[in-house]
């Protein structure tokens, strides 16, 4: 897979992730800063490292599954896996300026 193809696929994966919103905060999980890494290998398999706003998050079980399933629907993705990591822990500093603006923090 060429670099340009990877960039295009990563862009489509990012857009798919941006369509998923935290159920308690009206911001998508990408802008919220929950996605740490999007790794695409040459076989078009996508691995996402993500976190949660809190270890006891009420959607800790369902959100990673939703992310995986949404990524699998992206044209060009052959497989998707999601790894939840709690270190480093999520903080508000990870949010994009757009998310902070949406939440009235800017």
Is the pLDDT at 55 greater than 90? The verdict is no
Q: Residue 56 has what pLDDT? A: 87
When pLDDT is cut at 50, 70 and 90, the band that residue 36 belongs to is very high
Give me the domains of the chain, ranges plus CATH numbers: 3-91 (3.30.300.130)
Q: Quote the pTM value.
A: 0.92
- pLDDT tens digits for 56-92? 888 889 999 999 999 999 999 999 999 999 999 999 9
Q: Is residue 1 over pLDDT 80?
A: no
DSSP 62-102: HHHHHHHHHHHTSTT--EEEEEE--SSPP-GGGS-HHHHHH
pLDDT, position 24? 84
Helix-strand-coil percent breakdown of the chain, rounded to 5?
A: 35, 20, 50
Judged by phi (left if over 0) then psi (alpha if -120 to 50, else beta), residue 33 lies in left
């Amino acid at each position: 897979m060429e670099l340009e193809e990877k960039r295009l696929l990563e862009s489509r994966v990012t857009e798919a992730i941006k369509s998923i919103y935290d159920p308690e905060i009206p911001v998508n999980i990408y802008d919220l800063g929950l996605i740490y890494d999007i790794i695409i290998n040459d076989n078009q398999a996508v691995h996402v490292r993500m976190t949660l706003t809190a270890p006891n998050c009420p959607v800790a079980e369902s959100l990673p599954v939703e992310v995986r399933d949404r990524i699998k629907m992206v044209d060009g993705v052959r497989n998707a896996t999601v790894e939840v990591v709690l270190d480093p822990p999520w903080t508000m500093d990870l949010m994009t300026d757009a998310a902070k603006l949406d939440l009235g923090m800017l």
